[in-house]
């Protein structure tokens, strides 16, 4: 009787622990609130499986010690459709599935010895499933977005804008933000603009003003963006 009681209490305690772990809130991404971050596996050979909304399609993310041309310490590899896709390997990379599970936005950061804040510069690539077969193709959005955003980089030195995926408006449209690095020589540090991109071509369809981004798509924004402050209106008393 006593033994059964002890075992029962142990099982109950374990069950409560598991429920508590499952109920813990998911940490918001840096650029996309609903992205899956890979910080937890940084510096480890352990892979991470990121499952698409359809419950069947999966991407496997892992880090390795391969050194790309930008002299960052390591790189992030995303295995999907039988192929490895390599990206810059900083610790703050995040993956964001399209709602139809046929595209995956990868925002990755390259960290070098010169990066004082330990974040480096962020770049964004879309992995798009090909119409036939199991393979996926890459569409790098970084250069195109940085070129559009260049007039807003009010910097003394040559600085690179951070480019990050914010959220999907549909399976064919992705919102991508460009942001002036907070730790930079730029006069408008933290300045932001966003663009709606066609997934199949990578073409920019329209730009989104920073104010509109916060008001209309605020529920998608990650921690890299200032919170929207509520405006309180004072009502004068009638005499």
Taking only the tens place, the pLDDT of each residue in 188-204 is: 888 899 999 999 999 99
Residue 5: the pLDDT is 53
Which DSSP state fits 139?
E
Helix H, strand E, coil C: the string for 202-225 is CCEEEEECHHHHHHHHHHHECCCC
3-state DSSP assignment of residue 100: coil
Residue 21: the pLDDT is 33
d(CA 103, CA 86): 16
Taking only the tens place, the pLDDT of each residue in 12-71 is: 343 333 333 333 334 668 999 999 999 999 888 899 999 999 999 999 999 976 444 444
> Residue range 121-129: average pLDDT?
96
209: confidence class by pLDDT, cuts 50, 70, 90: confident
Q: State percent of the chain over pLDDT 70.
A: 74
In whole angstroms, what separates CA 162 from the centre of its chain?
12
The CA-CA-CA angle for residues 214, 52, 81, to 5°, reads 125
Residue 64: the pLDDT is 78
* Res. 178: pLDDT tops 70: yes
Residue 86: the pLDDT is 94
230: confidence class by pLDDT, cuts 50, 70, 90: very low
CA atoms within 13 A on the CB side of 88: 25
Torsion of CA 39, 40, 46, 50, to 10 degrees: -80
Residue 112: the pLDDT is 59
Residue 216: the pLDDT is 92
Residue 202: the pLDDT is 96
The more confident residue out of 44 and 86 is: 86
What is the sign, positive or negative, of the torsion defined by CA atoms of 211, 200, 159, 33?
positive
Of the candidate ranges 17-21, 117-121, 180-184, the one whose mean pLDDT is the lowest:
17-21
Each domain of the chain, given as residue ranges in start order, spans 26-220
């Amino acid at each position: 009787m006593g033994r059964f009681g002890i075992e029962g209490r142990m099982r109950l305690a374990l069950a409560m622990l598991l429920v508590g772990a499952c109920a813990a809130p998911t940490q918001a991404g840096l650029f996309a609130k609903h992205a899956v971050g890979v910080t937890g596996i940084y510096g480890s050979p352990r892979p991470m499986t990121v499952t698409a909304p359809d419950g069947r399609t999966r991407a496997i993310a892992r880090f390795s010690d391969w050194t790309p041309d930008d002299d960052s310490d390591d790189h992030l590899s995303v295995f999907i459709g039988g192929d490895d896709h390599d990206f810059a390997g900083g610790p703050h990379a995040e993956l964001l599935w399209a709602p139809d599970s046929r595209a995956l936005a990868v925002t990755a950061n390259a960290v070098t010895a010169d990066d004082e804040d330990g974040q480096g510069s962020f770049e964004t690539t879309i992995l798009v499933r090909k119409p036939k077969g199991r393979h996926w193709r890459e569409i790098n959005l970084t250069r195109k977005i940085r070129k559009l955003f260049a007039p807003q980089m009010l910097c003394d030195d040559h600085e690179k804008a951070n480019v990050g995926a914010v959220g999907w408006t549909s399976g064919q449209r992705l919102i991508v933000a460009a942001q002036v690095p907070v730790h930079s020589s730029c006069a408008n540090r933290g300045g932001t603009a966003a663009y709606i991109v066609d997934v199949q071509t990578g073409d920019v369809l329209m730009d989104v003003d920073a104010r509109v981004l916060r008001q209309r798509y605020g529920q998608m924004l990650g921690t890299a963006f200032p919170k929207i402050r509520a405006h309180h209106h004072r009502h004068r008393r009638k005499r």
